[in-house]
Chains A and B, each alone.
Chain A
Amino acid sequence: MTIQIGPPPPFDPELAAALDVLGANLPSAVTAEMIQPMRDGALLAVAGEPDLTRDGAFTVTRRTVPGPAGDPGIELLIVAPAGADRALPGLYHIHGGGMILGDNTTGIEVLQDWAAEVPSVIVSVEYRLAPEHPHPAPVEDCYAGLAWTAAHAAELGIDPDRLIVAGASAGGGLSAAVALLARDRGGPALAGQMLLCPMLDDRNDTPSTLQMTGRGVWDRTSNDTGWTALLGSSRGGPDVSPYAAPARATDLAGLPPTFIDVGSAETFRDEDVTYATRIWQSGGQAELHVWPGGFHGFDLLAPQAAISQEARAARLRWLRRLLAG
């Protein structure tokens, strides 16, 4: 049966307007030559160093902990509510950036917004980036940081029974991958995985991927750039590890409660919906939100839009149900 692929779903009106205003220097298609300029800030301007302490509401520490065996140490950025007097949930954060961009402060403001509502300790990992460090370096860095965090939970003020992994985009894909690793290696028992518009499938050929070619944020070309940086010529081939591309996993049983959200107008829509479906089919628990007219990372670009507010509220409600108490 062939699937008739129609035009891309329209963007939500407010998101479309924001994309028009802000999207001028946000290319749909990221190519390999653009990786270095983007890292240098030529394409993605950062408006100054944010105050991670939020006027003293959080304490901020950076620790270098052992990396994967034989590899260099990795830096964990630890952001905790100031003056906590009991063990709190732990949010192990893996940043996004297509496997090729970002650092452990990228997107951390979103987690700080959660921690302000559901007091939690954030641990954000600085993993090595592709293409300089292809698979398995990024995911093994992330897993080493998670294992260290779980082992040192008491020291960090984290309740080890309430430790989740969370990440957006490539960070969502890596979060799904470390959850698979934790399951398969008998590693930390995770309380949940929060996968925000996760990047899961290196094959890059779903209907949503085809629909969004040249459109929106992180289109099919960008996705090819990111996956090729991570996997080289094996991208899309028969031998890709599920720890690189969790969509490749044949067994999704035994995973912790899962939250997945994604926009209907983005490359990752179909692979994310499929991942949730397969978790259910394996007997697992997943909450899936597909936000109509959302492009990739819509709530970061346009947090004020009504649909972004709803997406953020839904995440917070899931966290409260899972972690509060």
Chain B
Amino acid sequence: MRDLAARLTALDPDAGAALQVIAYFDRLTEARAGLQSIVRGAAVLAGCPARLADEHRRIHLRVHPDGTNAAAPIPTAEQPGRAPSAAADQPGPAPTSATVEQPRPPSDSAAGQVDEAWMSVVVADGALLWLERAGPPGPVDAMILERAAGAARTVLDRTRHHPPPADPALLELLLDPDAAEPSRLKAAARLGLKPDAEVRAVALPDGRARLQSTATPPPDATMRAGIGPAGPIAALPSSYAAARVALRFTAEGTEQDPGPRVVHADHLGGLALLAAATDPGGDPIPDVQALHRTAATAPWALATLDAVAESPSLRTAAGALRVHHSTLQERLSPFDHLLGWDFRTPQGRLRLQLALALHRLTRPPSR
């Protein structure tokens, strides 16, 4: 009864024992157990010492099969000049499945160092888990390693890389202008916001919302987003309304859909009034129809007009488009006629900017 390893050995390794190993580590993961518990589980189930070394995170754990912690010797030293690369410090993609492989041979095998005969598995970039069994592996050693590594990977992902996602229901409540203020403040507290926090609401194209504050990092810069003005928690519903307006001014940032991927409501000024006056999928005004006609003449036409509208000079626009100045001049020459106005004058440029803005605002809803 007391000896898990003996009990597993007595079971059919193909069925009973494997299932129990799976159940053991699944249960640890479910209960959000830490690395100590996972390495201990590996040692206890295998009946031999287990160790985990993660050079980047400076974690060295070693556990005896009776569950007691062993002094973890500093793992095999990297050769001078073979220090972990800078890139390895980035949270790289974790391997999708545990691969059992031989560990690197020890460079200077002092006593207590890693033995190359031990079975090991990659937990994550720079992190290895070993079963310290010199002889032939036990019947479920590979299974123990694989499941323990999976559980350990979950812990590393959880604790090192990502803040836990905010509860969508709490967020919805927080941004709902019709919700009572006390419930919104309670939701804010449960989301970890201090009462005096300065917060922005962020609107995302798929309809989700995020918060941005000193406590929560800004969303991924590559993500298309409308960002509301910063303010107290009480003002979050209006910040979110402004963020959703800002989102309508964003574009994919591609040649077919040129424009900014991230738009701050703070920077819209009077343009925000245009949003209120138009509906997505609504009838385009004649200037936008002209823009569409022009865009249809060449794959690069819309991106070219956008660059011209957004750049302080044609030379800068040519640089942004990575074409020669004279090429740009050549491409633009038929556009006056197609659009029906001269976009090189200050008034014409404003008219082009408005046409581009209205083009984005009147696009049919994307999803």
What is the interface of chain A, defined by CB distance below 8 A to chain B?
10-14, 16-18, 20-22, 44-47, 300-301, 303-306, 308-309
Given contact pairs A13-B32, A14-B40, A306-B67, a sample of 16 additional A-B residue pairs in the complex whose CB atoms are under 8 Å apart: A10-B31, A13-B33, A16-B31, A18-B24, A20-B20, A20-B27, A21-B23, A22-B7, A45-B1, A46-B1, A47-B1, A47-B6, A304-B44, A304-B67, A308-B67, A309-B68
- Across the interface, B24 reaches (CB within 8 A) one of A21, A45, A46, A301, namely A21
Residues on B with C-beta less than 8 A from A12 are: 31
A13 and B31 contact, CB distance less than 8 A: yes
- When chains A and B are docked, how far (Å) is the Cα of A282 from the Cα of B24? 45
Residues of A within 8 A of B2 (CB): 300-301, 303
Q: Which residue of A lies closest to B3 (CB)?
A: A47
Q: How far is the CB of A28 from chain B (nearest CB, A)?
A: 16
Instruction: Kindly report which residue of chain B lies nearest to residue A44, judged by CB atoms.
Output: B1
Given contacts A21-B20, A21-B24, A304-B66, contact A13 B1 (CB under 8 A): no
Also in contact, A14 and B20, with CB within 8 A (given A300-B2, A304-B44, A306-B67): no
The answer on a CB contact under 8 Å between B67 and A305 is: yes
Taken together as a complex, chains A and B put the C-alpha atoms of A41 and B8 apart, in Å, by: 20
**Could you pull out 9 A-B pairs where Cβ atoms are within 8 angstroms?**
A14-B28, A17-B31, A18-B24, A46-B1, A47-B6, A304-B66, A305-B40, A306-B36, A306-B40
B49 at the interface (CB under 8 A from A): no
Q: Is B59 an interface residue (CB 8 A)?
A: no
Count of chain B residues near A, Cβ 8 A? 27
A62 to chain B, nearest CB (A): 24
A20 CB contacts on chain B under 8 angstroms: 20, 23-24, 27
Chain B nearest CB: distance from A96 CB in Å?
Answer: 14
CB–CB A14/B41 < 8 A: yes
Whether A14 contacts B1 in the complex (CB less than 8 A), given A20-B23, A304-B67, comes out as: no
Roughly how many angstroms separate A304 CA and B5 CA in the complex, as a whole number? 11
Q: Is the CB of B36 within 8 A of A13?
A: no
**With A14-B40, A304-B40 as given contacts, are A22 and B4 in contact (CB-CB < 8 Å)?**
yes
Closest to B44 in A: A304
Q: Which secondary structure dominates chain B's binding surface? A: helix
Chain A residue with Cβ nearest B33: A13
B-side contacts of A18, CB under 8 Å = 4, 24
- Are A306 and B37 neighbours in the complex by a CB distance under 8 Å? yes
Chain B, 1-27, CB within 8 A of any chain A CB: 1-4, 6-8, 20, 23-25, 27
Contact A21 B7 (CB under 8 A): yes
CB-based nearest B residue for A18: B4
Would you call B66 and A303 a contact (CB within 8 A)?
yes
Among residues of B, the one whose C-beta sits closest to the C-beta of A21 is B20
Q: Are A17 and B1 in contact (CB under 8 A)?
A: no
Closest 9 CB pairs of A and B: A304-B67, A13-B31, A13-B33, A17-B27, A304-B44, A17-B24, A21-B20, A20-B23, A14-B37
Contact in complex: B67, A16 (CB < 8 Å): no
Whose C-beta in chain A lies nearest to the C-beta of B24?
A17
Nearest A residue to B43 via CB reads A304
CA distance A18 to B3 in the complex (A): 10
Complex CA gap A233/B225 in Å reads 72
**Distance in Å from the Cβ of A22 to the closest Cβ of chain B?**
7
Q: How far, in Å, is A130 (CB) from chain B's closest CB? A: 23
CA distance A315 to B32 in the complex (A): 28
- Complex CA gap A10/B2 in Å reads 22
Bound CA span A135–B360, Å: 87
User: Could you say which of B1, B20, B36, B37 contacts A301, with CB atoms under 8 Å apart?
Assistant: B1
CB contacts (< 8 Å) of B24 on chain A: these are: 17-18, 20-21
- Rounded to whole angstroms, the CA-CA distance of A44 and B1 in the bound complex is 8
Inter-chain contacts of B8 with A (CB < 8 A): 21
B7 touches A17 (CB 8 A): no
For the complex, give the distance between the alpha carbons of A305 and B225 in Å.
47
A115 smallest CB distance to B (angstroms): 18
B86 to chain A, nearest CB (A): 35
Among B2, B7, B40, B68, find the residue whose CB has the most chain A CB atoms closer than 10 A.
B2
- Provided the pairs A21-B4, A300-B2 are in contact, do residues A13 and B27 lie with their beta carbons within 8 angstroms? yes
What B residues does A309 contact at CB under 8 A? 67-68
Q: How far is the CB of B46 from chain A (nearest CB, A)?
A: 12
In the bound complex, what is the Cα–Cα distance between A22 and B24 (angstroms)? 10
Q: Report Cα–Cα, A47/B10, bound state, in Å.
A: 11
Interface residues of B in 26-61 (CB under 8 A from A): 27-28, 30-33, 36-37, 40-41, 43-44
Q: Report how far A22 CA is from B23 CA in the complex, Å.
A: 11
Contacts of B67 in A (CB 8 A): 303-306, 308-309
B3 lies within 8 A of A13 (CB)? no
Q: Which chain B residue lies CB-closest to A10?
A: B31
Contacts A13-B32, A304-B66 given; does A22 touch B27 at CB 8 Å: no
Instruction: For B31, list chain A residues within 8 Å (CB).
Output: 10-13, 16-17
